[in-house]
Amino acid sequence: MRVRNLLFAFTSLALAVPVLAGPNDVHDMVRAGEIMPLEAIQRRVVQETPGEYVGVQFDQASRTYRFRFMREGNLINIDVDARTGVRVQRRQSF
């Protein structure tokens, strides 16, 4: 059952991928002071969020980092404003 939930979650993610920036784009934005470095935000979010850390994506259009966690077979999305480091949304996928 858990494997099926994981497959469903990752398939859903693939279908709902926002406009994503490449690593060079992100580094350029950090150097320009447009966004905060991932590492600083990632450390805090991973420490504050229960569950297994799955990964992160950066949405260039909204300037948000989306952190993903698995908890009790559910995928948890934590969206953080990359400019301020403030959590803007938390969603759970079933």
For 59-81, give the DSSP string: ETTTTEEEEEEEETTEEEEEEEE
Q: Which of 94, 56, 52, 47 is nearest to 78 (CA)?
A: 56
Rounded-to-integer distance, Cα 34 and Cα 77, Å? 23
pLDDT given at position 24: 74
Q: What pLDDT does residue 78 have? A: 95
Q: Which residues of the chain have pLDDT under 70?
A: 1-23, 90, 92-94
Residue 26's pLDDT is what? 84
pTM to 2 decimal places: 0.70
d(CA 81, CA 90): 12
**pLDDT reported for residue 27:** 87
The whole-number pLDDT of residue 94 equals: 53
Angle among Cα 78, 79, 81 to the nearest 5 degrees reads 145
pLDDT at residue 89, rounded to an integer: 75
